[in-house]
Structure formats: C-alpha cells, structure tokens
Copies of this chain bind each other. A is one copy, B any other.
Amino acid sequence: MFTPVLSLLLMLYRKFPAGAPLSTDLMQANNRVYIATSLDGFISDRNGGLAWLDSVENPEGDDMGYGNFMANTDALLMGRTTFETVCGFDVEWPYTKPVYVLSNSLTKVPAEYEGKVWLVKGKLPEVLQYIHERGHLSLYIDGGQTITNFLAQGLIDEMILTVFPVLLGGGHPLFGDLPVAQDFELVNSKVCLGKLVQSHYRRKTGRP
C-alpha cells in the first residue's frame, strides 16, 4: 500500500508523458502571478464578468509585458475554474507552454487538450515538487482561488499586477486572509496605455 504522497506521484507519473529534462537547480524555481485587478482588488465582477478589462482602448496592441513574462515562463499552473473559463473563450488555445490544472474532480483531460494540459492534485508543495521534477521551474500561477491558496502558503514569489481605474464594488477578490503579513519589494511600476498602473513585486525572503 502506497503512502498518499507516493500514490500521488505514481498517479502523476502515469498521467504525464515524458517531460523536459530533470533539473535540480531549484534555486531558479519561482511562482509568478500576472493579473489584472480593479482598483478595489477584484479580478472579476459580481457575475464573474471581465467586461471591465475591455474598458481601456488598446489601439496599438500593447501587450503590457505579457510576451516577456510568458517568454520567461516554463509552464502554467491554474485552477479548474480558470481552465474551464479559458476553454470557454471563443478563441484558439492561447498557451504555447504546458498547462497544469489543479483539480480534484477532473479525471481526464478533454481530448482536444491532450499534449497541452495535464491534471495535478494534492498538496501544493508536492504538486510543485512534481512539476519541478518535470523541468518546469518558472511557473505562471493563475486563477483567483489558486493564487489565494498559493499566497496563503507563502508560495508566491513575484506578482505583476495591472490595476484598472474602476471600483467594481464587489466580485472575486485577488487577495484573501493571510495568517501573517508578507513583505514584498517593488521591482518597478509603470503606467500602461495612460490609464493602467502596472507594478511588479518580488517577495522578500530570508529577511526579518
């Protein structure tokens, strides 16, 4: 009989194809967030809507650093809800990097996403260990509940937050309760499209 951790890993190894070469340079491992919020800290409105993201015109298609962020991303890790939301968009699959989907309920990746999406479950440190062992160290953590869970466990290293100038007044908040305060340092901040404030934060570690 396997321990839960071992059975998780065995299950994952069965579920995953051969991945990138193993890397032991876990110093490079980091979990990064790139997300837009309203001025009052919501990532979607009361109905889950994102129409407010379209409220700012972007005639020249400024990617607001997204391309550079993705170029430095090995893989994405998102919650099931976000995965299903992205699947529901009337666009082609938007990611060129592997996508890990945290889910306790999904048992199988839909056929059209095979080779692009892999299911993971379990405690976050174990999930991360598994993903790192697949050679994916720099992870784009996405989805409100997933980010909240990562933050609650002190597992977010960097955040690029793009603040839209609207008070939604309700919706899904990016930040939740934390057991202790977490200090970050400002890497930089800039105005995008004349209307958005994009700030890059890095978690302080090993400091009092």
Contact = CB atoms under 8 A, between A and B. Distances in A.
16 contacts: A39-B161, A39-B201, A40-B174, A165-B186, A166-B181, A166-B183, A166-B184, A167-B182, A168-B181, A170-B177, A185-B195, A186-B195, A188-B191, A189-B197, A197-B197, A197-B199
A207 to B, nearest CB: 11
Interface residues of A, number: 37
Contacts of A189: 189, 191, 197
A93 B176 CA distance: 36
Given A41-B40, A177-B170, A186 B194 contact: yes
A166 B136 CA distance: 28
A156 B196 CA distance: 20
A55 B182 CA distance: 12
Given A178-B167, A181-B167, A196 B186 contact: yes
A169 B165 contact: no
Give the residue among A165, A188, A196 with the most B Cβ atoms within 10 A.
A165
A126 interface: no
Interface of A: 39-41, 45, 52, 55, 151, 161, 163, 165-170, 174-186, 188-189, 191, 194-197, 199, 201
B163 A169 contact: no
A40 B197 contact: no
A182 to B, nearest CB: 4
Contacts of A181: 45, 52, 166-169
Contact of A184 (B41, B161, B165): B165
Contacts of A168: 178, 181
